[in-house]
């Protein structure tokens, strides 16, 4: 009766097409039972009757199944190691107290339907394709569970239920696929063969019927390792990965009926809009034909294997343009000649091809000194766009570049040049010239112009105008670039309605919506960055700045470009700009130790530990008024003071509140040096009256400085910072002064108290 039942099941399978959920075992076929959660395989220990699980496979890892129908429900006896006299049974039954782990599975020689029958049902959990639950008869809410190396029960209403990965089991016959095969998908509307176009990302479903003459694109070399793990190698030498993941170059058979195969990383051959690339399981049901595969043996007598000594090398058979890497092969009607084959060009290597019997040897020899020289030159490159000084790839390359291991140097060099994570980015307050790089060799620098930001052809020997200088400010992980013109950079397209301000590529004041840029390492060019900003009110994603070879801008900025016509690759070359303040010692100013003047064409943030003042009135003294705000307005001259005297960087404001200044008596040279006329205005300096404003001489005031307005009628104008008297000496300890001291009426003072006096013909103050 058992044989008739099995025969009928198999007959129905052939007629209507079984799925994995039908689980129809074949008589005499041995199966592996493997946990979905940890890939452990069930086995019967030699000196124990309790089932265990482990990674390796042995003779004790196989089981046969014998079906029995009870009240129209199909159950199975499970025989360990194919021994029909032994049965897998419940040694300890599950309890009813929802205990998460209370059953034990063992082996007995006593056939008892109450403990030896098991129901095997497809696990419908989304994370468990091709997997089954193994449930003892009478305990539908329990199933086998693999805990480390032990097998027990895990009740479905506790600890995640039967759809949990550790409760799910692959039941597969021992796979013996070893040799050369074509691989076909079983979908009835496709029935197509697997084809590889020399690239992991180009694995496709090819024609429904194989070509009359097979090429190495269609043939796969399959080997099966322990635990039903397949290595599937294309004739080109490309392992078949799941989901294109090169770190997993093997496939695990999750289930097979001996004809069709399902994989643990289930392959799907549906259209995911990427050239029918093989993908992970997407259809939610393991039985969908897109996920089923057949292997048809290929009888080939003339296979020529490729042996190549480097990973990037390959050889082309000229007559058919077929390619093969190391481990690949060609199917040829006759032995190839060396002239029939061409080795691929690999940077820093010379190649030689020989034919030895059925082996095609491709030997690459490294031009080591050339490689080392280029690697050293790359290491010498620093600054924006290049790996940082502490980048792991920089350290790794520096550690091997003086050695003789070509492979180690080349791999480290590649990693260094493709490092996109540890890259030096633009810094607060630093100034840059932004240059676009094209594949054909053209270079254009970004320049402010009133009618719109432009890209100007660059001559490396020519001095660049200051309109090409952009000063950076980093804001919440994004970047703002102010120009010496007093404007802020925006994205620019190729039409007036592409971006704000009529698409001029700048705004005259800071706008958080349009002036903040995303900056990242360019994926195509070592040392270059890509950057972009918001295009319009309707587009919320950042659009890349893309420049054409003629210097125009491209509207569609959705992707990086690098070719002869369009490029999103930019260098950020650091240049000097007068926004770094050098303080000078202040003489004879009570409470002020270091002082400087400043102005800028854009609003600037007042640095920490620096105070800013403007002159609200002047006569014999200049009244200094403190600026109580985050930033100094554009085009306003100011006085800066510092206790430490450390250099300070003036960073463009980007949303920081700028002071409102009226009646400022300080002039400025914001954005450009200013010509001075003798006797017109006053310059801050040290003279006979200490640090004060002295009449201008004919000359030029450097860019981004300040001076005091006026006609130059005073010999010196002191500064009044409030309660402090300035423009006179200060006596901090009168007992140390050797010259006699007089009060303001001319009488000599023996002991000076706090107040104003005359010493050496000059006014002094005693504190």
Q: Which pLDDT does position 4 carry in this prediction? A: 37
Pairing of strands 322-325, 329-331: unpaired
Percentage of residues in the chain having pLDDT higher than 70: 81
Percent of the chain with pLDDT over 90: 53
**Statement: residue 174 has pLDDT above 70:** yes
Query: For residue 384, what are the domain limits?
Result: 369-417
Long-range contacts of 561-568 (CB under 8 A, 24+ apart): 562/438, 562/439, 562/522, 562/524, 562/525, 563/438, 563/439, 564/438, 564/439, 564/440, 567/436, 567/437, 567/438, 567/439, 568/522, 568/530, 568/532, 568/544
* pLDDT value of residue 579: 96
567 inside domain: yes
What digits encode the pLDDT tens for the residues 723-766? 544 444 333 333 344 566 766 666 656 566 767 777 766 677 66
Distance between CA atoms of residues 720 and 590, nearest Å: 10
- Do 460 and 522 fall within a single domain? yes
Across residues 237-250, what is the average pLDDT? 61
CB 624, CB 639: distance < 8 Å: yes
Query: Of 297, 329, 351, at which residue does a domain stop?
Result: 297
Q: Which pair of structure tokens corresponds to residue 659?
A: 């002071």
pLDDT-wise least confident of 208-222, 234-248, 325-339: 234-248
pLDDT at residue 652, rounded to an integer? 97
Asked if 118 and 88 touch (Cβ cutoff 8 Å), the reply is: yes
At residue 159, the pLDDT reads 46
Tokens 């402090």, located at residue: 724
* 340 & 464 share domain: no
Helix axes 406-417, 392-400, angle to 10 degrees: 160
Mean pLDDT of 488-515: 94
| Side-chain-facing half-sphere of 509: CA atoms under 13 Å | 7
Closest CA to 292 of 183, 199, 373, 374: 183
150, pLDDT greater than 90: no
Q: Is the pLDDT of residue 168 over 90?
A: no
User: Cα(683)–Cα(637) distance, rounded to whole angstroms?
Assistant: 12
Based on the domain organization, do 358 and 241 belong to the same domain? no
Q: Is the pLDDT of residue 283 over 60?
A: no
Neighbours of 196 (CB within 10 A): 22
Q: How confident is the model at residue 275 (pLDDT cuts 50, 70, 90)?
A: very low
- Residues 448, 491 share a domain: yes
| Helix, strand, coil % in the chain, rounded to nearest 5 | 10, 40, 50
> Both 601 and 707 in a single domain?
yes
Most confident of 184-193, 443-452, 729-738: 443-452
What are the two backbone dihedrals, phi and then psi, of residue 130, each rounded to the nearest 5 degrees?
70, 5
Average pLDDT over residues 111-118: 93
**Tens digit of pLDDT for each residue in 348-389?**
999 999 999 999 999 999 999 999 999 999 999 999 999 999
pTM of the entire predicted model = 0.67
pLDDT of residue 713: 82
Q: Which helix (H) or strand (E) holds 180?
A: strand 179-185
- DSSP letters spanning 284-302: S-TTSGGG-EEEEE---S-
pLDDT-wise least confident of 341-345, 471-475, 718-722: 718-722
Asked whether residue 426 is domain-assigned, the answer is: no
pLDDT at 446 over 50: yes
Are 606 and 685 contained in the same domain? yes
Q: Mean pLDDT lowest for which of 134-148, 320-334, 707-721? A: 134-148
pLDDT score for 762: 67
Residues 205 and 228 in one domain: yes
615 and 629 assigned to the same domain? yes
What's the domain count of the chain? 7
When mean pLDDT is compared across 16-20, 115-119, 137-141, 510-514, the lowest value belongs to 16-20
Same domain for 479 and 399, yes or no, is no
Lowest mean pLDDT among 21-35, 52-66, 333-347, 727-741: 727-741
Query: Which range in 269-273, 627-631, 721-725 is most confidently predicted, on average pLDDT?
Result: 627-631
Q: HSE on the CB side for 463, CA within 13 Å? A: 3
Mean per-residue pLDDT, 16-27:
57
Q: Is 720 found in the same domain as 600?
A: yes
CA atoms of 548 and 546, how far apart (whole Å): 7
**pLDDT for residue 537 is more than 80:** no
User: What is the Cα–Cα distance from 679 to 698, expressed in whole angstroms?
Assistant: 8
CATH code of the domain in which 144 resides: 2.80.10.50
Domain end residue (candidates: 262, 297, 332): 297
Q: Which of 93, 218, 231 has its CA nearest to residue 175?
A: 231
| CA separation, residue 312 to residues 199, 242, 362, 407, 523 (Å) | 12, 21, 11, 11, 20
Specify the pLDDT at position 124.
61
Mean pLDDT across the stretch 186-213? Answer: 66
């Amino acid at each position: 009766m058992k044989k008739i039942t099995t025969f009928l099941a198999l007959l129905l399978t052939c007629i209507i097409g079984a799925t994995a959920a039908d689980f129809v075992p074949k008589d005499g076929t041995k199966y592996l039972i493997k946990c979905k959660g940890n890939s452990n395989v069930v086995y019967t220990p030699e000196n124990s009757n309790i089932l265990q699980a482990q990674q390796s496979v042995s003779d004790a890892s196989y089981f046969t199944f014998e079906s029995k129908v009870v009240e129209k429900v199909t159950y199975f006896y499970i025989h360990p190691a194919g021994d029909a006299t032994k049965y897998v049974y419940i040694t300890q039954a599950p309890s009813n107290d929802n205990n998460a782990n209370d059953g034990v599975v063992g082996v007995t020689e006593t056939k008892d339907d109450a403990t030896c029958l098991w129901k095997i049902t497809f696990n419908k959990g989304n994370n468990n394709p091709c997997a089954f639950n193994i449930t003892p008869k009478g305990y539908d809410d329990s199933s086998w569970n693999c805990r480390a190396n032990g097998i027990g029960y895990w009740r479905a209403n506790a600890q995640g239920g039967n759809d949990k990965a550790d409760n799910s089991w692959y039941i597969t016959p021992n796979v013996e696929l070893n040799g050369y095969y074509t691989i076909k998908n079983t979908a009835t509307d496709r029935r197509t063969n697997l084809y590889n176009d020399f690239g992991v990302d180009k694995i496709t479903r090819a024609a429904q019927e194989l070509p009359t003459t097979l090429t190495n694109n269609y043939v796969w070399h399959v080997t099966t390792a322990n635990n039903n793990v397949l290595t599937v190698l294309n004739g080109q030498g490309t392992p078949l990965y799941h989901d294109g993941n090169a770190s997993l170059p093997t496939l695990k058979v999750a289930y097979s009926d001996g004809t069709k195969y399902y994989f643990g990383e289930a392959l799907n051959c549906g259209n995911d809009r990427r050239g029918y690339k093989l993908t992970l399981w997407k259809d939610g049901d393991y039985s969908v034909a897109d996920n089923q595969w057949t292997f048809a043996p290929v009888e080939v007598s003339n296979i020529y294997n490729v042996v190549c000594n480097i990973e990037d090398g390959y050889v082309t058979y000229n007559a058919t343009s077929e390619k093969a890497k190391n481990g690949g092969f060609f199917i040829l009607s006759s032995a190839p000649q060396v002239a029939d084959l061409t080795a691929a060009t690999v940077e820093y290597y010379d190649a030689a091809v020989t034919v030895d019997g059925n082996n095609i040897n491709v030997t690459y020899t490294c031009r080591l000194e050339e490689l080392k020289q280029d690697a050293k030159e790359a290491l010498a490159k620093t600054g924006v766009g290049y790996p940082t000084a502490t980048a792991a790839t920089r350290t790794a390359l520096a550690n091997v570049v003086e050695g003789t291991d070509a492979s180690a140097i080349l791999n480290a060099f590649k990693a260094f040049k493709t490092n996109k994570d540890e890259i030096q980015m633009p810094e607060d307050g630093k100034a840059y010239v932004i240059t676009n790089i094209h594949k054909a060799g053209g270079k254009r620098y970004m320049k402010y112009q009133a009618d719109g930001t432009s890209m100007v052809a660059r001559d490396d020997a020519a001095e660049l105008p200051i309109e090409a200088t952009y000063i950076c400010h980093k804001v919440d992980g994004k970047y703002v670039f102010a120009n010496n013109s007093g404007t802020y950079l925006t994205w620019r397209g190729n039409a007036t309605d592409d971006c704000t301000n009529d698409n001029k590529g700048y705004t005259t004041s800071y706008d958080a919506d349009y002036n903040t840029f995303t900056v990242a390492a360019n994926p195509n060019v070592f040392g270059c960055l890509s950057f972009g900003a918001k295009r319009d009110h309707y587009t919320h994603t950042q659009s890349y700045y893309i420049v054409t070879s003629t210097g125009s801008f491209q509207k569609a900025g959705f992707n990086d470009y690098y070719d002869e016509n369009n490029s999103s690759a930019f260098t950020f070359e650091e240049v000097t700009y007068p926004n770094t303040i050098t303080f000078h010692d202040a003489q004879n100013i009570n409470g002020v130790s270091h002082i400087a003047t400043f102005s800028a064409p854009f609003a600037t943030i007042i640095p920490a530990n620096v105070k800013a003042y403007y002159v609200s009135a002047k006569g014999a003294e200049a009244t200094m008024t403190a600026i109580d705000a985050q930033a100094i307005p554009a085009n306003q001259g100011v006085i800066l003071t510092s206790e430490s005297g450390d250099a300070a960087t003036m960073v463009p404001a980007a949303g920081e509140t700028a002071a409102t200044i009226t009646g400022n008596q300080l002039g400025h040279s914001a954005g450009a040096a200013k010509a001075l006329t003798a006797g017109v205005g006053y310059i801050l300096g040290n003279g006979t009256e200490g640090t004060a404003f002295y009449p201008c001489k004919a000359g030029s005031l450097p860019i981004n400085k300040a001076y005091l307005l006026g006609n130059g009628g005073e010999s010196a104008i002191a500064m009044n910072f409030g309660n402090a008297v300035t423009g006179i000496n200060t006596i901090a300890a009168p007992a140390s002064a050797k010259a006699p001291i007089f009060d303001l009426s001319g009488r000599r003072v023996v002991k000076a108290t706090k107040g104003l006096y005359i010493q050496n013909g000059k006014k002094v103050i005693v504190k």
